[in-house]
Amino acid sequence: MKRIPVDLLIKKLSILTVGMSREVNENFTNLTHEQLHWQPNDKSWSIAQCLEHLNAYYRYYIPVFNGKIANTRFNEPIQFFTSSPMGRAVYRSVKLGKVYNVKRVLKSRKEYNPLVNSSLKSENPIEDYLNFQDQFVEVIKASEKIDLRKTKCPLSLRPVVKLNLGDALTFMAYHNERHIYQAKRVLDRLNKMT
């Protein structure tokens, strides 16, 4: 991402996040338990598993983001944000293409893979997801009041590696979008069978 006004970045991330909540409300809230947990095959995720994967990321990142925003010493907001080369590479790896095609298949680590990690289950994956989405929108808004370049966040998979907060928020928004469209493709396959 080239140099962008912070208020525009915040607006874009907020719109994307709210849009994904709307997609979930419109497409998944009226599904039965069986439909939510239907898998196209034993190596593909169900809609519920896509949401649980995202919920697992939110369980890690929401407290990290809130802690970094509350405790940063870089509490002077900046007018423009520019991604770091590493940050750009991280969020581009999950960003969807122009026509919502997934450019490449990414292998999820076992901690975040619902096919491998049986603890990634809840009674209400949609409700949990929508609650996390609301929290994430609040995080995005709160981040506008600090320096998004100098405030750093540890990556969940490699805490020793840190992204600046602006790149971390962008990664979360694009990662979220990627898996909501994955869940919508599962629903399309399910609908073709009925």
Q: Tell me the pLDDT tens digit for each residue of 14-31.
A: 999 999 999 999 999 999
The single residue listed with the structure tokens 């909540």 is 21
User: CB count, 10 Å around CB of 189?
Assistant: 14
Q: Percent of the chain scored above 70 by pLDDT?
A: 87
Predicted TM-score of the model (pTM): 0.90
| H helices present in 29-159, as ranges | 33-36, 47-71, 85-92, 125-143
Q: Where are the domains of the chain?
A: 4-193
- Model confidence at 113, pLDDT cuts 50, 70, 90, reads low
**CA pair distance 157, 142, nearest whole angstrom:** 24
User: Averaged over 103-119, what is the pLDDT?
Assistant: 62
- Give the 3-state secondary structure of residue 4: strand
**CA pair distance 42, 55, nearest whole angstrom:** 21
Per-chain mean pLDDT for the chain: 88
> For the purposes of burial, counting CB atoms within 10 Å of the CB of 97, is it exposed (0-12), middle (13-18) or buried (19 or more)?
exposed
Please report the pLDDT score of residue 93 as a whole number. 77
User: Averaged over 70-85, what is the pLDDT?
Assistant: 92
**CA pair distance 79, 50, nearest whole angstrom:** 35
Please report the pLDDT score of residue 101 as a whole number. 52
For 131-186, write each residue's pLDDT tens digit: 999 999 999 999 999 999 999 998 877 777 789 999 999 999 999 999 999 999 99
Q: Which residue has the higher pLDDT, 172 or 92?
A: 172
Structure tokens at 159: 């805490």
> For the purposes of burial, counting CB atoms within 10 Å of the CB of 90, is it exposed (0-12), middle (13-18) or buried (19 or more)?
buried
CATH code for the part of the protein at 4-193: 1.20.120.450
Instruction: Give, for 150, the enclosing helix (H) or strand (E).
Output: none
The CA-atom distances, in angstroms, between 50 and each of 24, 135, 175 are: 11, 19, 11
Tally of CA atoms within 13 A in the half-sphere of 47 that contains its CB: 27
Tally of CA atoms within 13 A in the half-sphere of 149 that contains its CB: 15
